[in-house]
Amino acid sequence: MSEQDTFEQFSKSVVDALEDKKAIDLIIMDVRGHSPIADRFILASGSSDRHLKGLAHAVSEVAHKQGLVARVEGMAAMEWLLIDLGDIVVHLFLPEIRQSFQLEKLWAAPSSISDKEASSSIS
pLDDT value for 107: 65
Query: Residue 3: CA atoms inside 13 Å, Cβ hemisphere, count?
Result: 1
Q: Tell me the CATH number at 49.
A: 3.30.460.10
Tally of structural domains, the chain: 1
Of 91, 111, 89, 110, nearest in space to 101 by CA: 91
- Rounded to whole angstroms, how far apart are CA atoms 64 and 72? 13
Average pLDDT, rounded, for the chain: 86
Assess if residue 113 is contained within a domain: no
Assess if residue 42 is contained within a domain: yes
Assess if residue 93 is contained within a domain: yes
pTM, entire model: 0.83
Assess if residue 30 is contained within a domain: yes
Assess if residue 4 is contained within a domain: no
pLDDT value for 119: 39
